[in-house]
Amino acid sequence: MRLDWQRARVRRFLSELARVELIDRSLALGAQMLLAIIPLLMVVGAFLPQDWGSELLAQVRDTIGVRDDVMEPLREAALNDQTMQPEVGLLSLLVALASATSFSRAMERMYARAWDQPTLRSLRAVRGSVLWLLGWVAMLQVTALLVRSVTGVPLTGLLRVAIQLVLNTLLWWWSAWLLLGGRVSWRNLLPGALLTGLFVVALGQLSALFMPRYAGANLEQFGPLGLVFAIASWLVLFGGVLVVATVLGRLLTRP
């Protein structure tokens, strides 16, 4: 009897993944995030203190799990210290905002599909996308600050993982609530947020094992384009993690 119940749960989980279109959603999230990262880094490097851009790039590097030297082409392309012309800077800002909010809109559609909610189609959705972008950048900065503050203390590695787990859980808990327009309660969203935080941190830890060699080989063989391909592949995997955690969290809330 218990085995049949477990099989039914697995079948429902797989059915839900098919319903939300796991592969398509993962590809969409990965592609939109790739298009958001580089313009966002360029804008941060041009309009904000250089330390902000460096910290943001360091968080991207640590999350993906690649070496700093592998990220050098991206650093040179995005965080240059050249002064932009006003019209170029404004255009870059608009492109960055459009790209970044497109990623948050893709997440909003994923959350809506997973929770059987209609997508938001109003200024409320645009406001939520902009707020999410600001919250995401702020979370990266806070994470970098806290991780740097525990450097050199006993159990540094464990503390860093704990900080990342707590902040990622809070980020994705708030993200789901915001992008769903508050239509799903905080309580129901908590299991999915916990799973997302856990899966994202675990992915970051595992990425440190295989991404340096993978990204380095792509960079050596194809140049900067190979680095973009390696990062794009990781982002698709990251998108899949978000989808799986969200679906599983909903099933735990509504069995």
Q: Give the domain ranges of the chain.
A: 16-253
pLDDT of residue 173: 96
pLDDT of residue 174: 95
Q: Which one-letter DSSP state was computed for residue 79? A: S
Distance CA 175, CA 116 (A): 17
Task: Report d(CA 83, CA 46) in Å as an integer.
Answer: 7
pLDDT band for position 67 (50/70/90)? low
Q: How far apart are CA 94 and CA 39, in angstroms?
A: 9
pLDDT value at 164 more than 70: yes
Give the model confidence (pLDDT) of 71-115 as tens digits: 666 666 555 554 444 444 566 667 667 777 788 888 999 999 999
Q: In Å, what is the CA distance from 160 to each residue of 137, 149, 205? A: 18, 10, 11
Report the pLDDT averaged over residues 35-49: 66
Gap between the Cα atoms of 136 and 112, Å rounded: 20
User: Over the stretch 7-24, which tens digit does the pLDDT of each residue have?
Assistant: 888 888 999 999 999 999
What is the structure's pLDDT at 194?
A: 96
